[in-house]
Structure 1
Amino acid sequence: MSAFTDGLMADRTVFVAGGTSGINLGIAKRFGELAARVAVLGRNPEKAKAAADSIGAGALGLSADVRDYAATREAMEQVVAELGPLDVVVSGAAGNFLAPAAQMSANAFRTVIDIDLNGTFNVFRGCYDLLRRPGASLIAITAGQAVNAIPLQAHACAAKAGINQLVRVLAMEWGPEVRVNGISPGPISGTEGMARLAPDHDAREAYYARIPMRRWGEIEEVAEAAVFLCSSSATYVSGTILDVDGGSQLGDASRGTAAKGLA
């Protein structure tokens, strides 16, 4: 059950980059349910239109690659022209795959940096003079790789660490009129990433055992966190990375539990 009242985001314009699927689409839908004017951006025009249709009447679906600053900026200008100044901007476009660093090409590494880190900068820099002031709220979708070194994830770890620091710097430079925060989701059901990392029952059970809350999160739980960060309940929150991960960042909760009879 949500703590937020119907119509909470009425008269606000929300732009979600990478908002055509997964967590980002879930965030866009939640803002739409709360009466916001919503626009989503993705590389595929058909997916962008389908995502907008799933959000509801009046939602915009635009296509651009966040690696292309000019195209991203043009899309945001269109949103402002049709829906008004931007109140909330979410940057969530991402790319990832498993690969050992010694076998990863320079191009593969650069691709993830370009989508995740450079894409986040392009979205936030591109929207800067299109924001409603005061009160605009920016959210970057990051990940636990930003603070935890993970084998086969050199590219993602580097990109997400950069995003976290970008959030903090922009919060310092753009306050007090613009708040900038990040959300770091843990394992989330119904996402492409978890389908790849835990494709069968045994793999899923192994993940559950390591998470303090003993379950994966839901897309809706991440969306609720995004609404909170953009609500009047978080007006003194800026430069923060909010972990929505069931305690995953605390470490492996399965260690030692069997010996103590707690498993």
Structure 2
Amino acid sequence: MMGEFAGKHVFVAGASSGINLEIAHAFGAAGAKVTVLSRSEEKIAAAAQGLRDAGATALGIACDVRDYAGLEAAFANAVAAHGPVDVLVSGAAGNFLAPALKTSANAFKTVIDIDLLGTYNVFRASWDHLTKPGASLIAITAGQAVHPMAFQIHACAAKAGVNMVTKCLALEWGPAGVRVNAISPGPIADTEGMRRLADPVREAKIKKSLALRDYGTKADIAEAAMFLSSPAAKYITGTILNVDGGNDLGDASADALGLGG
């Protein structure tokens, strides 16, 4: 897709590291002007410099996605530098493992505010700055949105909300030519989430349960984002795209399939 996004403005929230930063690099390599945003001034400055070192035109903005007024200013500054937003990715997230009885109301609210309210804030604050028609908006969600998980009540609730924000905005904003979709990554190698589960026994068990028998890569998610923002996806909106090696299908281990071994 080299050059396919030349001159386009791609804005990625939550992009100081991981999947979201990989998405920013992919679009930058394809010729886009990239704005990256995250709450840590030091980390987002480093992320923007890394993009520039790779040859991209990049702007870094420090802002917390829970700060709506700050986001309004961030979009105004980004558009002043790069023009209207053609592609917007909202991927800021917070998570931890904890049983509900050890999750305080404040801890629960923190994840809701970052993941769910943050996604809404990013999308809503972007409206006046989008290319209309033609903008592609993408939320980064997770399998917890549809599959309840122990020790993840906060993330399950937040991501379920992200899915519905995606679908509701797709309904409301489609008439203006704005498409809204989400990507639901499965187990992705070299990410903070998987590093927390990286002991060899746990890793082998996860891989054996996947239909495709391996972790995905950050590049897999970046390529999905580029597809959803390309002319090839011009008739796709309100879709939650699973990029998960079959994780959403359930346990594909030999034992679960009744094959043994």
Shorter-chain TM-score range: over 0.9
The letter of the residue matching 1:184 is S
State the Cα distance separating 1:254 from its structure 2 match.
1.2
Q: Which residue of 2 aligns with 1:186?
A: 186
The letter of the residue matching 1:32 is G
Q: Which residue of 1 aligns with 2:108?
A: 109
**Within 2, Cα distance between the matches of 1:258 and 1:119?**
39
The letter of the residue matching 2:26 is R
Kept in 1: contact 2:9–2:86 (CA 8 A): yes
For normalisation by structure 1, the TM-score amounts to 0.95
**Within 2, Cα distance between the matches of 1:111 and 1:60?**
27
Task: Give 3-state SS (helix, strand or coil) of 1:184's partner.
Answer: strand
For normalisation by structure 2, the TM-score amounts to 0.96
The letter of the residue matching 2:121 is N
Kept in 1: contact 2:13–2:90 (CA 8 A): yes
Kept in 1: contact 2:32–2:57 (CA 8 A): no
State the Cα distance separating 1:199 from its structure 2 match.
2.5
Task: Give 3-state SS (helix, strand or coil) of 1:183's partner.
Answer: strand
**Within 2, Cα distance between the matches of 1:233 and 1:219?**
21
The letter of the residue matching 1:191 is T
Q: Which residue of 1 aligns with 2:208?
A: 209
State the Cα distance separating 1:55 from its structure 2 match.
1.4
Task: Give 3-state SS (helix, strand or coil) of 2:35's partner.
Answer: strand
Q: Which residue of 2 aligns with 1:74?
A: 73
Residue 25 (str. 1) matches residue 21 (str. 2): yes
Q: Which residue of 1 aligns with 2:31?
A: 35
The within-5 A match list for 1:81-92 is 81-92=80-91
Q: Which runs of 5+ in 1 are unaligned?
A: none
Superposed CA RMSD: 1.1
**Within 1, Cα distance between the matches of 2:66 and 2:9?**
23
Q: Which residue of 2 aligns with 1:232?
A: 231
Q: Which residue of 2 aligns with 1:150?
A: 149
Task: Give 3-state SS (helix, strand or coil) of 1:151's partner.
Answer: coil
Q: Which runs of 5+ in 2 are unaligned?
A: none
State the Cα distance separating 1:58 from its structure 2 match.
2.4
Task: Give 3-state SS (helix, strand or coil) of 2:57's partner.
Answer: coil
Runs of 4+ aligned structure 1 residues displaced above 3 Å come to none
Kept in 1: contact 2:16–2:47 (CA 8 A): yes
Q: Which residue of 2 aligns with 1:99?
A: 98
**Within 1, Cα distance between the matches of 2:256 and 2:155?**
30
**Within 1, Cα distance between the matches of 2:136 and 2:8?**
11
Pick from 5, 10, 20 the counterpart of residue 14 of structure 1.
10
**Within 1, Cα distance between the matches of 2:257 and 2:138?**
39
**Within 2, Cα distance between the matches of 1:20 and 1:58?**
16
**Within 1, Cα distance between the matches of 2:100 and 2:68?**
28
**Within 1, Cα distance between the matches of 2:255 and 2:107?**
38
**Within 1, Cα distance between the matches of 2:21 and 2:202?**
26
1:101-144: CA deviation from partner (whole Å, max 9, x where unpaired): 11110000000000000000000000001001110010000000
**Within 2, Cα distance between the matches of 1:218 and 1:9?**
22
Q: Which residue of 2 aligns with 1:131?
A: 130
